[in-house]
Amino acid sequence: MYKYIYTITFIISLYLFFRNFKKIYKYEGWFYKTLLLMVTGAIGLYSLFYDNITINTMILPILLILNIVILFFITFRNKYTLINLIPIIGLLYILCIFKINDFNFSKGKLIKPNKQWIYLYIIALSAYFILSNKSAFDSNDKIGCVLLLLYPLLFPLNEYFIHRIFSLCLMVQFAWLYNI
């Protein structure tokens, strides 16, 4: 059932992405992050319907890592202070302990979710969003980003990234539409 809901969600996100393209393009770091997010959403959508060994074992885990790595680029492109750099330590830590074999997918779901890594991911990204300065996020954006990290926990943990990616695709596009 959620496959079809997320298909519609992604189509709406894609429409909004092209509608907001000029607005997003002005913000170089965020443009790349948004583009990477949409690529991840497209491949994630494919993964919901079809099992492909390369996508399930390599591409989706690599896209997950790239979505974290690009936050370094965004942080250093914006005005930052020492307090903004503290969460970078948490992001570096989760990147260092990442094991690609823990992130094998089947029909969009994690086969054996690494609970510890997922919870550390949530904590590290929450710290990143909360401690980011106003040049990256305003207060409402910070709350929204943390809620988008927590919302997928309402579902089984092996589905965490399914719900995260599609809710993020849609909400980021709405943020571009209404906030900037």
The per-residue pLDDT for 119 is 96
State the residue range of the domain holding 139: 2-178
| HEC-encoded secondary structure of the chain | CHHHHHHHHHHHHHHHHHHCHHHHHCCHHHHHHHHHHHHHHHHHHHHHHCCCHHHHHHHHHHHHHHHHHHHHHHHHHCCCCHHHHHHHHHHHHHHHCCCHHHHCEECCEECCCCHHHHHHHHHHHHHHHHHCCCCCCCHHHHHHHHHHHHHHHHCCHHHHHHHHHHHHHHHHHHHHHHCC
d(CA 81, CA 15): 36
Q: What is the pLDDT of residues 83-114, one digit of tens each?
A: 878 889 999 999 999 999 999 999 999 999 99
Tally of domains within the chain: 1
pLDDT of residue 136: 57
- pLDDT over threshold 60, residue 59: yes
Tens-digit pLDDT profile for residues 113-165: 999 999 999 999 999 988 877 655 667 778 888 999 999 999 999 999 999 99
Least confident of 25-29, 75-79, 100-104, 144-148: 25-29
Q: Would you place residue 82 in the very low, low, confident or very high pLDDT band (cuts 50, 70, 90)?
A: confident
Residue 51 has pLDDT above 80, yes or no: yes
